[in-house]
Structure 1
């Protein structure tokens, strides 16, 4: 399994000229995005952090809202939502325009109960709301589509992810935060080039496809709100 790639865990993504304000107004300040999570958050499967999921999301988000996005990643290979709750979020001493939680796959693989998932996710969402003005929760990855796992294991993992997804939707709805189900969309996981060198995590291409899915499913009202920030 691939370890955490080298590279900076923060950066700035600029929108293309075509996506900026056509009136010629001064470029708005960058919106700040802090992402907390697991191996997908830190880009395992590629050679450098810059090729991973978070900068890809920032790049697509900058295009969608027409303003720069200052991103930073706080994650660990193998992290569960419990680590996000007790270690990663509490250590964040700043405040972001947008906080993104990216976890769940390790909770599935570790066999954590849905009750534990619900409790830790709800607490993490609450804490994330104290660390940022807006909160987005991402679903687990698409591990159940990886053919290297074998049909029986894939089926078992898929069932577990389906159940976790339903709990996550309910938690986020009750908290009034955005939940993005990016685990059930076809993003080309049947192609060999979707998976990284370890055959377990996404590749550079895979992360680009996942990021496009994530930003593409962000509610229009959220994008409009981020675009209009002072």
Structure 2
């Protein structure tokens, strides 16, 4: 679907508003609320200088769906990067369930750097968007919030540190969402992801889209809430991010 068609579809969704509100309430009542994964930091063994990876943002970044962040996005991505480079990878999670782009900018970017241990990331992966979508944040406000967030990250870690933004998942594959709610959210997610990609391009931030092929609607990919990834799901997301991370930390190759 073209972006023009996506934008045209937004006002038409108002006709479905009573159905969408009812379905949204039903999903909230029926979906189990899973805790954030344990451990905000970890280390994957290796040789040479340690590569420091930070994962920032929402419940996906927080590892909701698994018990420990070693099985979440941060831990699994760190393991793949360590295996590819031979280097030790120190990972840190700065995330919260329900975080939006704006709340991440205001409340979580300060956790990217730890003055007490002098820990500072060599690369940052950002995951936001789902909660902005669920709140039906206006597209113009979403763009402004993203810009504020990415500027906040740059201000905290420095302009030389590479930043990657994870694309908004294709919600049409999420089994927790019934139709027509799933279809409406899927179109909205596509529109927001295009805004995300353009915003990233203008700020020299990498955008890593999540192709639907990476997301299966099987029970294996999703956790018990059928909304967040399981360990298998996080493995797939980490696989999608590995090459972009390696491309932005060239010093890691052969170190």
Paired position in structure 2 for 1:192: 219
Q: Which runs of 5+ in 2 are unaligned?
A: 1-31, 115-119
Q: Would you say 1:227 and 2:245 are equivalent positions?
A: no
CA distance in 2, matches of 1:2, 1:68: 34
> Does structure 1 conserve the Cα–Cα contact (< 8 Å) formed by 2:58 and 2:98?
yes
1:160-171 pair list within 5 angstroms: 160-171=188-199
1:209 to 236, 239, 247: 236
2:45 to 3, 14, 19: 14
Deviation string 1:89-130 (CA, Å, 9 cap, x unpaired) is 134444311111111111111101111111111121122123
Report the 3-state secondary structure (helix = DSSP H, G, I; strand = E; otherwise coil) of the residue aligned with 1:49. Answer: coil
Structure number with larger C-alpha Rg = 2
Q: Would you say 1:29 and 2:49 are equivalent positions?
A: yes
Q: Would you say 1:150 and 2:178 are equivalent positions?
A: yes
Q: Which runs of 5+ in 1 are unaligned?
A: 16-26
TM-score by length of 2: 0.78
> Does structure 2 conserve the Cα–Cα contact (< 8 Å) formed by 1:99 and 1:131?
no
Q: Would you say 1:3 and 2:34 are equivalent positions?
A: yes
TM-score by length of 1: 0.86
- Give the length in aligned residue pairs: 216
> Does structure 1 conserve the Cα–Cα contact (< 8 Å) formed by 2:36 and 2:59?
no
Paired position in structure 1 for 2:28: none
> Does structure 1 conserve the Cα–Cα contact (< 8 Å) formed by 2:101 and 2:146?
yes
Paired position in structure 2 for 1:173: 201
Q: Tell me the C-alpha RMSD between the 2 structures.
A: 2.0
Report the 3-state secondary structure (helix = DSSP H, G, I; strand = E; otherwise coil) of the residue aligned with 1:160. Answer: helix
Paired position in structure 2 for 1:19: none
1:6-155 pair list within 5 angstroms: 6-14=37-45, 27-94=47-114, 95-132=120-157, 133-155=161-183
TM-superposed deviation, 1:226: 3.9
